[in-house]
Amino acid sequence: MTASAATGASAGPRRFLLRGHAVRRGLSPLVVAALLIVVAVIVCAIAGPAIAPHDPNAQDLATGISGPSSEHWLGTDDLGRDVLSRTIVGARTAVVGPLLVALGAMLIGNLLGLLAGYRGGTLDTLVSRYADLVYALPALLVAIVVVGVVGGGYFVAVALLVVLYSPVDTRLVRSATLVQRSQPYVEAARVSGIPSRRIIFAHLWPNVLPIAVANAFLTFAFSIVSLAALSFLGLGVGPGTADWGRMLSDSRTLLFDNEWTALAPGIALVLTAASVNVVGDWVFERLSDRGRVR
Amino acid sequence: MSGLLEVRGLHIASAAGTIVDRLDLDLAAGETIGIVGESGSGKSLTAKAVIGLLPPGVDATGSVRFDERELLATSERQLRRLRGAEIALMLQDPFTMLSPLMRVGRQITETIRDEDGRRLSRSAARVEAASRLAEVGIHDPAVADRYPYQLSGGMRQRVGLAAALASDPRVLIADEPSTALDVTTQREILRLIRSTQDRRGMSVILVTHDLRVAFSFCERIYVLYAGALLETATAQALEDQPLHPYTHGLLTSEPPLSRRVAKLEAIPGSVPAAEAVLGECAFAPRCAWVESVCRAERPALREIAPQRLTACRRIDAIAPELVVSLPPAAARVAAANGMEPVVRIRDLAKSFGATYALDGVSLDIAPGASVGLVGESGSGKTTLARCLVGLERPTGGVVEIDGTDVTDYDALSARERDEARRAVQIVFQDPYSTLNPARTVGFTLSEAVRRSAAGRAERSRSVTELLELVGLSRSFAARKPAALSGGERQRVAIARSLALRPKILICDEPVSALDVSVQAQILNLLGELNERLGLGYLFITHDLAVVRQVTETLHVLHDGRVVESGPTEQILGAPAHAYTRSLIASVPQSNATWLAPVAP
C-alpha cells in the first residue's frame, strides 16, 4: 500500500474528532476570566512595587485611616498606608509561597509515586505507609505548632507545607503509575531492553503528568489559603509586610472605619484561589486531550 | 411478505458532520437481515437510530416506519414502551451490558409485566427467570441468583439475550452479539438466536463486521461503508458474485479457512470518515476501478436484478472483473530442517495461585520458521508469549533462547538478557494501547534503537529505515498515535519490535482488532518480512483461517496443554483431536446445517 493513501484516509476522521474537542473544550468565559485574574496576580507579584500607585509601606500618620478617595482609591489603613498599593504588592507573598509548595510537593510526590508505583514491593509499602502517616496529620495544625514553637516564619511554613501536602501527590501519582505500568506500551519498552529509570521518566511520566499538574494547581490554591491563615495568626511573614493574610488580621479593628482594609485582601485571596482552581481544571483537560486515543 | 420495518433516507449526523448518509432498509416479518461494515461504517448507530437510542448530540432524520408507525416522530415516552416489547436490542460486550450489582434473574424479569401491567410477584419472577434462562440454554435455575461477574462471557451473552427477549419482541437487533466471544461460544449464541427466532417468528437484524458470520446467519445483507450503503443482496448472491468493488475487496481480503492462498488482496488505505467522502462514491478513494464519474456525485443504489442493488456506477463495465478467485498456493513447508531452534520450550508451566495457565507445554521455533499457536481465551496462549519475553516468570519447565536458559529473566546477566531480547521480540494485540499516547512515533522508535544506534543522526536514520520496512513514510515519525489508524499503529508496533533485528517475532493476535481490509495488509507485511529478513514467527491467534495463511507448523492449545501439534495443513485438513475438530467446526459456514440445532 502507499503511505500517502493511508495518510489521506486516516487524517480525515482524526481531524474531525480534534475539532469536536476544540469546540467543546474551548475557552469558556469563565476560563478567560480566571486566566486574566491569574495573569494579573502574577504581574503584580513580579512588578508589584512598580505598579502600585504609592509606596506600600509609606506611613502617613497625619492622615491615619480614611475611606476611598481620588488619591487613595481603596482608602488607607490606621497608619495611613495605601490599601490598594499594599494589596498589589501583597500578591508577591501570596504567589511565591504557594508556588514553592505546589512545585515542591509535586516534585517529591512524583518521585515517590513513580518509584513506588513502578517498582512495587517493599519500596511501595514503605512509601505508601509514610504517605498514609503524613496524610493523617492535620497540616495546618502541625504548621501552627511547629512555626509557633520553633519560629522561623514564612519559609519554614512553606517548607512544612511541602512535606505535609506531598502525600496527596504521592498517592495520586502512584495510582496513576499502577494503571500505566501494565499498559502494553510500557511492557513493549521493557521487552526492548530500555532501562527502568528511562521507562519511568521518559515513557511513563508524560502520561501521568496531566493529573500531577492538575493536582499542583489544587495544592497551590490550598496553600494560598493556608499560608494566609498562618499569616493571619501571626505565624507567617514578619509584622509590617504587605501580605494578604496579615492585612486581614490587622484590619480586624478597622472594619468600621474603612471596610476596604479587610475587603481588598479578602477578595484578592478568594478570587486568586478560585481562579487557580479553574485554570487548573482547564490545563488538565488540555493536557489529557493531547494523547486521547479513542 | 409485508414490510415490518421500513427505513427511508435515514441520515445520521453529529456536530462533527454526517455519520450515515441516506440509508434505505427493509425488514419483513420473520426475516433475518445483516448490516455488515467495518469500523466507522455507521452500522451500530444505524441500529440504535431505529429504536431512538442515539447518544446525545447525534441526530437522525428521514423516516423509520415500524408497523405503520413513524418512529422518528414518536415521543421518547412512547418509544420507551416500544423498546423491548416490540423491538429489542442486544449489545456487543457481554462484560459491560449487564448491571454488575443486579442479580441475573432480576435483569431478565425487570421489564416483564403481568396481564394487568403490574410487576411480577417475587415467586412469579423466579419461575419466569428460570424459564427464560432455560430458553437460552441455561438449565440451572440457580444461575438466576448469581451476579454477572460470576458468569463466563458466553453465559453473560445468553443472559443478555434472555433479557432482550423478555418482553417477546417482534424484532431483535443484535449488535455484534458474538464478536467478543470465542469461536465455539459464538456458534452456540448464533444457534440460540436462530432457534428462538424459528420458534417465535421473530425478525432479526444482525449487525456485524464479519462477513462469514453474516453469510451463515442472514437471508439478506446490507453492505455499509463509511456511512453509505454500497450494496444489498441475498446472502447467497453476495457470496457468489459481489457487485461492488468494496464487497469484492472484502471477500478477497478475507482469508479462507479451506485453503492457503498465495497472497491476500488487501484494499489499500483505511476506512475514511463518512464526512470526508460526501459528494462522491464513498469507496472512490480506495477503489481500483475509480473514474471521474465516481467522484462527480454520490451514486444512488439502483436495482440491477431482483433483490439486488448496488451503488457502483461502473458495475456494468466492471462486473466481469469482480471475481473472487483466491487460487490455492502450495503449503508452507518448514524449510529450516536441521537448523538449531532459536527458541526451545520444554514442559513449560505457569500457575497463578491454584490455577494453571500453562501445564507442560513444549515447542521449538527454528530460524525463519512460522509456528502457529491457536486456542481460545483462557487457553494460556498469551501467558506463553509473556513467559518467552520475560514479562512473566514460569513456575516450571525450561525456556531456552539460542541455547541459553532464560526461564528466569531476572537471574540473567545484563548481557544474556540483551542477547535474549535481540533474538526474540513481541507484537501485542491492541493497537490502541501498544504505543505511548503521549509520545510521537519517532520517539517510540528511536527509544527502541537506542542500544544499537549511537548518536542522534544514526538514530533518526534507523527510525526512517524501520518505518520504510513496514511501509510507512518517514513523515509518520512526527505523529502521535492518536493521529494514526489501527492498521498504521500496528505497523509502528511491528517496526518497534524489529528495532533489535530479532530472529523470532512473537505475534500475539496482531490482527484480531483490525478491520478485515486492513488485516490482509498486515498479514501480507508479515509474509514479506519473513522473505526479506528471514524473520521467524510464533503466531498466536484464535483465527484458524489466519493461521492457515501464515504458518507452517501448528500447536493447538487447550486449557494450558498442547492437545495437537504438526504441520498446519495436516492438522486443519485432518484434525486428530476432538477439540481441534470442534474449533474447525465453529468457523462460520454458509450452509444450512451450520446453525441447525444440535440433536439433544
Phi and psi of B202, rounded to 5°?
-80, 150
CB A146 within 8 A of CB A138: no
pLDDT tens readout for residues B534-591? 899 999 998 888 898 889 999 999 989 999 999 999 999 899 999 999 888 888 887 7
CB contact under 8 A, B444 and A185: yes
pLDDT tens readout for residues A128-168? 999 999 988 888 888 888 888 887 778 888 898 899 999 99
Q: Is the pLDDT of residue A278 over 70?
A: yes
Of the candidates A185, A190, A294, which has its C-beta nearest B434's C-beta? A185
CB contact under 8 A, B476 and A16: no
Q: What is the pLDDT of residue B7?
A: 92
Q: What is the pLDDT of residue A2?
A: 38
CA distance A173 to A167: 10
Residue A169 identity: D
**Residue B83 bridge partners (DSSP):** B87
- Model confidence band, residue A290 (pLDDT cutoffs 50, 70, 90): low
Which residue, A122, A201, A129, A131, is CA-closest to A171?
A: A131
Compute how many other C-beta atoms are within 10 angstroms of the C-beta atom of residue B339. 12
Q: Is the pLDDT of residue A12 over 60?
A: no
pLDDT tens readout for residues B172-204? 999 888 877 788 888 888 888 898 898 888 999
Looking at chain A from residue 176 to 205, which residues have their Cβ under 8 Å from any Cβ of chain B? 183-185, 187-194, 198, 202-203
Q: What is the pLDDT of residue B2?
A: 58
Which percentage of chain A shows pLDDT scores above 90? 25
B-interface mutation test, from A2, A4, A10, A177, most B Cβ less than 10 A away: A10
Q: What is the pLDDT of residue A239?
A: 75
Q: Is the pLDDT of residue B284 over 70?
A: yes
Would an 8 Å CB–CB cutoff place A151 in contact with chain B?
A: no
**Mean per-residue pLDDT of chain B:** 87
Instruction: Copy the grid coordinates of residue A210.
Output: 496531566
CB contact under 8 A, B276 and A4: no
Q: What is the pLDDT of residue B178?
A: 80
Q: Is the pLDDT of residue A8 over 50?
A: no
CB B492 within 8 A of CB B447: no
CA distance A254 to A231: 18
Q: What is the pLDDT of residue B100?
A: 86
Which percentage of chain B shows pLDDT scores above 90? 30
Contacts of B16 in chain A (CB under 8 A): 16-17, 19-20
Q: A26 CB contacts (<8 Å, ≥6 apart)?
A: none
Q: A195 CB contacts (<8 Å, ≥6 apart)?
A: none
CB contact under 8 A, B432 and A202: no
Q: Residue B467: closest CA among chain A residues belongs to which residue?
A: A3
Give, in order, the Cα–Cα distances in Å from B295 to each of B11, B278, B384, B576: 21, 10, 50, 53
Q: B501 CB contacts (<8 Å, ≥6 apart)?
A: B422, B452, B533
Q: Establish, for the pair of chains A and B, how many residue pairs have beta carbons separated by less than 8 Å.
A: 137
Which residue, B343, B405, B382, is CA-closest to B507?
A: B382
Please state the rounded mean pLDDT for residues B261-281. Answer: 84
Contacts of B488 in chain A (CB under 8 A): 6, 10
Q: Is the pLDDT of residue B446 over 50?
A: yes
Q: Is B114 helix (H, G, I), strand (E, B) or coil?
A: coil
Q: What is the pLDDT of residue A289?
A: 65
CB contact under 8 A, A8 and B269: yes
Highest mean pLDDT among A108-117, B194-203, B518-527: A108-117
Q: What is the pLDDT of residue B254?
A: 84
CB A84 within 8 A of CB A53: yes
Would an 8 Å CB–CB cutoff place B452 in contact with chain A?
A: no
Which percentage of chain A shows pLDDT scores above 70? 89
Please state the rounded mean pLDDT for residues A255-279. Answer: 86
Looking at chain B from residue 467 to 526, which residues have their Cβ under 8 Å from any Cβ of chain A? 471-473, 475-476, 480-485, 487-488, 493, 496-497, 499-500, 521
Please state the rounded mean pLDDT for residues A114-121. Answer: 92
CB B427 within 8 A of CB B490: yes
Q: Is A210 helix (H, G, I), strand (E, B) or coil?
A: helix
Q: Is the pLDDT of residue A237 over 90?
A: no
Question: B423: part of which helix (H) or strand (E)?
Answer: helix B414-423
Question: A98: part of which helix (H) or strand (E)?
Answer: helix A91-119
> Of B67-76, B220-229, B457-466, which gets the smallest average pLDDT?
B67-76
Which residue, A282, A170, A273, is CA-closest to A228?
A: A273
CB B64 within 8 A of CB B54: no
Backbone Cα Rg of chain B: 26
The helix, strand and coil proportions of chain B, stated in percent and rounded to the nearest 5, come to 35, 25, 40
CB B207 within 8 A of CB B175: yes
